[in-house]
């Protein structure tokens, strides 16, 4: 009986020990499961936080890049605006320069017009003086009824022109036949010489003076030496005819004025340079 009771007690203690070990194993397994779940949850939380941090950093970086791009675009636009402003300044400066040039051109044109006006006034004054001088000269009636100077210059007297101090001297030498059908010289009109313009009158004077000087030279004509450039025509300065009627020069339409060329470029040769 004692042995049976001891056996039963030993069996009961073994069963209790096994139950206790099973309970401990179960508790240990539960603790391990709870710890695993906690670690998994912590890892997941940390991953979520890391993802949020990365997203925030990416958004911050994108925002910074966008701000930088906008700032560069604004700076580029400001630079373009400054360039446009500089271009406008340059255009205004060019416009001012054109205005100054136009002002200078208008000023020169005005000065030229004033000079031409003064020249016309001088010509009108000279014309009035010549008219007054003609009117003061004693005149006689010829057979045809036209007036002529009392003592026209003869063939042994030199011609009178503006280079000799008398702007109207060339008009006195004309034939009685030409003067017969013309009005009195006191009126001083172009029709006196059968001309319709100032240029025609001047050419007639040049030809008349040429003829007169040829007569005085005894040759009857102006000749040139073989192999030498032709001498300037009588009644000309270089190659520019002298305007014997009103003291002007009729500029040639072609070629430079030989008076403005150096002696090495004078087409008439060195003997005729320097205003010879």
Q: What is the DSSP string of 75-104?
A: HHHHHHHHHHHHHHHHHHHHHHHHHHHHHH
Distance CA 18, CA 12 (A): 10
pLDDT of residue 134: 83
In-domain check, residue 149: yes
Would residue 6 count as lying in a domain? no
Residue 170 lies in a domain: yes
As given in the structure block, the two tokens for residue 100 are: 């100054």
Interatomic CA distance for residues 237 and 233, integer angstroms: 8
Overall domain count for the chain: 1
pLDDT at 139: 59
At a CB cut-off of 8 Å and minimum separation 6, what does 202 contact? 241, 243, 244, 245, 246, 248, 250
23-53 pLDDT per residue, tens: 999 999 999 999 999 999 999 999 999 999 9
> Domain residues for 205?
137-272
User: Is 179 domain-assigned?
Assistant: yes
The secondary element (H helix, E strand) that includes residue 241 is strand 240-241
Q: Is residue 28 part of a domain?
A: no
Residue stretches of the chain with pLDDT short of 70: 138-206, 213-276
What does 100-138 look like in DSSP terms, one character per residue?
Answer: HHHHHHHHHHHHHHHHHHHHHHHHHHHHHHHHHHHHHS-
Tokens of 221: 């004509």
pLDDT attached to residue 256: 47
Q: Round to whole Å and give the CA distance between 113 and 125.
A: 18
Contacts of 161 (CB under 8 A, 6+ apart): 167, 169, 170, 205, 209, 235, 242, 244
Model-level pTM?
A: 0.30
Q: Is residue 54 part of a domain?
A: no
Q: Is residue 55 part of a domain?
A: no
Mean pLDDT computed over every residue of the chain: 71
Instruction: With respect to residue 168, please indicate whether it lies within any of the assigned structural domains.
Output: yes
């Amino acid at each position: 009986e004692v042995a049976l009771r001891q056996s039963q007690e030993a069996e009961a203690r073994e069963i209790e020990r096994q139950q206790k070990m099973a309970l401990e194993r179960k508790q240990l397994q539960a603790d391990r499961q709870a710890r695993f779940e906690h670690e998994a949850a912590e890892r997941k939380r940390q991953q979520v936080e890391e993802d949020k941090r990365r997203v925030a950093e990416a958004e911050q970086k994108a925002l910074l890049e966008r701000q930088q791009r906008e700032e560069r675009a604004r700076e580029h636009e400001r630079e373009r605006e400054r360039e446009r402003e500089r271009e406008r300044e340059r255009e205004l400066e060019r416009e001012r320069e054109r205005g100054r040039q136009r002002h200078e051109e208008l000023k020169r044109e005005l000065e030229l017009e004033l000079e031409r006006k003064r020249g016309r006034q001088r010509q009108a004054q000279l014309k009035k003086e010549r008219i007054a001088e003609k009117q003061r000269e004693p005149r006689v009636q010829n057979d045809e009824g036209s007036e002529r100077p009392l003592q026209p210059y003869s063939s042994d007297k030199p011609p009178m022109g503006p280079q000799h101090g008398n702007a109207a001297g060339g008009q006195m030498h004309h034939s009685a036949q030409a003067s017969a059908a013309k009005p009195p010289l006191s009126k001083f009109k172009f029709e006196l010489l059968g001309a319709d313009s100032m240029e025609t009158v001047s050419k007639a004077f040049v030809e008349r003076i040429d003829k007169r000087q040829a007569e005085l030279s005894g040759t009857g004509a102006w000749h040139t030496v073989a192999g030498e450039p032709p001498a300037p025509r009588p009644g000309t300065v270089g190659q520019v005819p002298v305007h014997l009627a009103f003291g002007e020069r009729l500029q040639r339409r072609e070629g430079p004025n030989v008076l403005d060329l150096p002696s090495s470029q004078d087409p008439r040769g060195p003997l005729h340079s320097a205003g010879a």
